Amino acid sequence: MSKITIGKKDVAWAYIGSFFKVAANIILLPVVLKLLSDDELGIWYVFGSISQIVVLLDFGFASTVARNISYAWCGVDSLKKDSLAEMPSNRETNFEYFKIVLQTCKVIYTAIAVIALVFLLTAGLFYINSLASSNVLAWVLYSVGVALNMRYCYYTSFLFGVGAVAENNKAAIITKLVQIIASIILLYAGYGILGVSIAYLLSGITLRLSSKLYFDNYENIKTHLKQVTSKSSWTEVKKTFKIIWHNASKDGLVTLSNYLNTQANTLICSSVLGLATTGSYGLSVQLSSIAATIAGIPFSSVLPMLQEKAVKRDNEGGQNLFSGAMVLFMLSFVILTGVVIFLLPVIKWLKPTLIIEVPMLLAVFFLSLVNQIYHYFASLISTFNILPYTRSFIVSSVIAVVLSYFLTRFTNLGIWALVISPLIVAFSYNLWKWPLYVLKLYNVSLYTFIKNGLSFSLNILNDIFNRIKGR
């Protein structure tokens, strides 16, 4: 069996990749603010807002594709809609079937990219032309860049699916570096918004080249695929697509519910509480999201291994790995929360007019922690190729949004309503339902789960300490 192994190098690159994505925005933002006119800056943000709409066309395929790539990489001969296929313990990757899955995913993302490009060059182009006709060329180039990024982002799922976490992050860093360097050069050369659009287009090309190079060379995948002489038939691709779509549609609904939850609260805040309050709330949410992303690196890094454990029916190994990742996540999140509170005076110095109260900031961070906890348990459940949580996530997001609106509109809670409402809904069902589901799935008690997680985490921390001490 082709084995998925996530080592310290992979986790280190995951941290570097996440840090670089955050730092990249910090590096580019001052240059953009300085060299784009007010009108160009406004149009650039419009570019980003419209492109976010078409990103939703992914509709859950990214996570589903990565999950099914992992199954095929681990040696299954077929995919199933709501369960895991049986296979011998010594099975190697069936590259003939692996190639069919890859081809199916390429067809899916080609269709998504074409639909996105048509939307951007019709409705999007019409809207941009109505705002500023002088930026039509920049929009066309930017649209092609968006389409390329969507077309070739399947390589991200491919790399993640086979456990190439380090390679995936290296490709992402290279892509971001090209965009940053090209943007700065072209902005200083006086190309304005056309320059940053060209840079984004170059990032799409770079993503394709770097990701493909890393994927082809990982475990000699390119050589193995070349040895498969038979071509994937349209019938096989169509059959595989139907299986992938079954759970991708559910993942997509969960993605949409999360998107609705976040965006709806921001809209409620701006319409009821005003733009100044929205700025404070938005920054608090952004900071908590960054903390959650960084703290969640241990989980996201070992997810391919958890998928392999599920395929091999290694529940003990999966439980130890998952419990450790969860403990590391919560410890890291608490530490990062403290760091943000410590740096709050710096944020207030940079933006004196922005009012951020520590109790509210802590409440937003606590909400983010709660949301991530039950989402990670749900993600663990999905490694078994079952998604029983879809309906509850959708219903919960709708109830939370409605409750947020009524509490902000008809009570004196103000911004607190945007935190209290989702917390009430989360504690009512999702926060206890899916952790209990996982404990039952692994047949362990909460005490054992926490004990194993602490033991796993302490071993990792001791190993890090010993390495540092050894130096």
pLDDT tens-digit profile of 307-363? 778 877 888 888 988 999 999 999 999 999 999 899 888 777 766 766 778 899 999
Nearest to 231 by CA among 70, 99, 62: 99
Give the span between the Cα atoms of 130 and 147, in whole angstroms. Answer: 22
**Which tens digit of pLDDT belongs to each residue from 268-279?**
776 787 766 776
Cβ partners under 8 Å of residue 406, min gap 6: none
Which among 333, 448, 319 is positioned nearest to 377, based on CA atoms? 319
CA distance linking residue 447 with residue 454, whole number of Å: 11
d(CA 146, CA 197): 10
The whole-number average pLDDT for the span 410-425 is 92
Angle between helices 165-188 and 192-217 (to 10 degrees): 160
| pLDDT recorded at residue 204 | 84
At 1 the pLDDT is: 45
- Read off the pLDDT of residues 429-452 as tens digits, 9 standing for 90 and up: 999 999 999 999 999 999 999 998
Residue 149 to residue 55: CA distance in whole angstroms: 10
Calculate the alpha carbon distances from 295 to 283, 291, 325, 334, 450 in Å.
18, 6, 10, 9, 18
Mean pLDDT of the chain: 83
SS (H, E, C) 11-77: HHHHHHHHHHHHHHHHHHHHHHHHHCCHHHHHHHHHHHHHHHHHHHHHCCHHHHHHHHHHHHHCCCC
Distance CA 105, CA 380 (A): 22
Give the distance from CA 137 to its chain's centroid: 30
Output the DSSP codes for 401-421: HHHHHHHHHHSS-GGGHHHHH
Pair 119, 54: CB distance under 8 Å: yes
- Per mean pLDDT, which range of 87-91, 215-219, 305-309 is the poorest? 87-91
